[in-house]
Amino acid sequence: MAGGSNGAQKEQKVRVDDIARDDRLLEAKAKELTGEDVTLSPTNVEVHDLDSVDWNTACALLVQIGGGVGAVYIHGNQLDIVMTGPDRGNGSWLIGLEQGQSCRFYGQPSVRYFRRQV
């Protein structure tokens, strides 16, 4: 993992149910998670089955658990999977991507991107 000289892995995925409707707080949490100044896309990004996004495009993602049916696979040092759909309950995950990581979408999960400010 980038930046981790002491061997400890920083948290890459956190639940943000309590702030999921406040874009400003989500951007602050994403900055805390990624160390980047970010802007959250105003609406869901249209994703299709087998689309992917890498760290260069989005440094973090907001995934709605109860949104569209699908899954988000986070590829990097380890594989992590977030399953989505109306039968999965409510809530949201904030997923931080590090340099070299990417996500692949299966089905049509409901996702918003955090992009680096330029």
Tell me: the pLDDT tens digits for 69-80?
999 999 988 899
In a domain, 1, yes or no: no
In a domain, 7, yes or no: no
In a domain, 5, yes or no: no
Quote the CA–CA distance of 68 and 98 in Å, as a whole number.
Answer: 25
In a domain, 86, yes or no: yes
Query: Per the structure, how many domains does the chain have?
Result: 1
Backbone φ/ψ region at 59: left (φ over 0), alpha (ψ -120 to 50), beta: alpha
In a domain, 23, yes or no: yes
Q: In this structure, what token pair is assigned to residue 60?
A: 């973090």
In a domain, 2, yes or no: no
Q: In this structure, what token pair is assigned to residue 49?
A: 């089955």
CB 38 within 8 A of CB 93: no
| Ramachandran angles phi, psi of 102, nearest 5° | -145, 165
The terminus-to-terminus CA distance of the chain in angstroms comes to 24
pLDDT digits 0-9 by tens, 19-65: 999 999 999 999 999 999 999 999 999 999 999 999 999 999 999 99
Quote the CA–CA distance of 79 and 106 in Å, as a whole number.
Answer: 14
Quote the CA–CA distance of 59 and 81 in Å, as a whole number.
Answer: 17
Q: Domain holding 55: CATH number?
A: 2.60.120
In a domain, 6, yes or no: no
The position carrying tokens 């989505």 is 84
Which of 112, 117, 96 lies closest to 43, judged by CA? 112
Write down the pTM of the prediction: 0.88
Structural domain boundaries, residue 48: 13-116
In a domain, 3, yes or no: no
